[in-house]
């Protein structure tokens, strides 16, 4: 709120600080310290407003992150996954895609986050014994809590932090993806696709669907066909999973595992 003009103002720095505080609360290991706002002038920066048309922005303010871009990306991946699995569809910290939004709506409407149905695992040739072990691990309540609720090792975060390093793969990442794929098959939503979905604008969809579920107005074309009462991929439910990536990672690390 500006005391001089008596109006509410907005700046991108506000969103950046909200994002930092969210990460600080939920993922302290991925957070960074607060930094001062830097001010300057950019003669080529203009904005368009319905009231006044094209306007020069004047003084510019930036809120630089004192950490690497890998940590920033990792924190955003972690925040997105947390919001999806807790069903916080009204949170504007991230931009929701249709698949991520479908998962968040499901999580919001189903308090029981456990695996609701067993899912098969394809036999890739003499892998029946290890498939039986994986089924036992997947249905262990403690491991479900670690990977699906506490998110001890979000694979997208690890991928972001490993970017540019010599470590091209991670066994725990593959196990995390296995839990996500299994859970997604049990509820009928492609959780992996929702996690890897690109950021897209969603204000129109929120105004038409989330804030007013009974609205008859059509949502943005990017979200056409998706409503709160409609599953996006009902044919996906119960589809067997293929643990080829996990098995390959196990075989590569067989000596260290033994």
- Per-residue model confidence as pLDDT tens digits over 99-155: 888 888 888 887 666 666 788 999 988 888 989 999 999 999 899 889 988 888 999
Given a contact cutoff of 8 angstroms between Cβ atoms, the answer to whether 112 and 183 are in contact is no
Supply 25's token pair.
């609360």
Structural contact between residues 200 and 109, judged by C-beta atoms closer than 8 angstroms: no
CA dihedral 187, 193, 199, 200 (to 10 degrees): -70
Q: What are the φ and ψ backbone dihedral angles of 166, each rounded to 5 degrees?
A: -80, -15
Taken as a whole, the chain contains a residue count of: 258
pLDDT in tens, 3-58: 666 665 666 777 777 788 888 888 887 877 877 777 676 777 787 878 778 877 66
Which of these, 31, 140, 14, lies nearest to 78 by C-alpha position? 31
Are the C-beta atoms of 117 and 186 separated by less than 8 Å?
Answer: yes
DSSP one-letter string for 53-64: EEEE--EEEE--
User: What residue has token string 């098995």?
Assistant: 247
**pTM score:** 0.70
DSSP reduced 3-state for 38: strand
Q: What pLDDT, on a 0 to 100 scale, did the predictor assign at position 177?
A: 94
- The answer to whether residues 139 and 117 touch, using CB atoms and an 8 Å cutoff, is no
Q: Within its chain, how far is the Cα of 77 from the centroid?
A: 5
Percent of the chain whose pLDDT exceeds 70:
72
Which tens digit of pLDDT belongs to each residue from 212-241?
334 333 333 333 333 333 344 445 677 888
């Amino acid at each position: 709120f500006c005391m001089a003009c008596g109006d509410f103002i907005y700046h991108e720095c506000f969103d950046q600080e909200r994002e930092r505080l969210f990460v600080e609360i939920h993922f302290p290991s991925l957070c960074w310290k607060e930094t001062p706002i830097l001010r300057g002038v950019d003669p080529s920066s203009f904005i368009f407003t319905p009231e006044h048309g094209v306007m020069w922005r004047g003084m510019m303010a930036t809120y630089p992150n004192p950490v690497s871009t890998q940590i920033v990306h990792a924190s955003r991946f972690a925040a997105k996954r947390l919001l999806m699995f807790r069903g916080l569809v009204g949170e504007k910290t991230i931009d929701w895609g249709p698949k991520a939004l479908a998962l968040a709506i499901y999580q919001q409407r189903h308090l029981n986050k456990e695996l609701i149905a067993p899912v098969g695992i394809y036999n890739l040739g003499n892998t029946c014994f290890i498939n039986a072990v994986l089924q036992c691990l997947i249905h262990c309540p403690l491991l479900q809590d670690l990977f699906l609720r506490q998110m001890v090792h979000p694979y997208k975060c690890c991928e972001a932090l490993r970017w540019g390093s010599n470590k091209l793969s991670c066994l725990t990442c593959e196990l995390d993806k296995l839990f996500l794929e299994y859970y997604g098959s049990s509820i009928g939503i492609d959780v992996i696709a929702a996690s890897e979905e690109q950021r897209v604008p969603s204000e129109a969809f929120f105004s038409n669907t989330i804030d007013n579920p009974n609205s008859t107005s059509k949502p943005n074309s990017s979200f056409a066909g998706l409503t709160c009462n409609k599953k996006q991929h009902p044919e996906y439910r119960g589809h067997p999973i293929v643990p080829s990536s996990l098995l390959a990672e196990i075989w590569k690390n067989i000596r260290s595992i033994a």
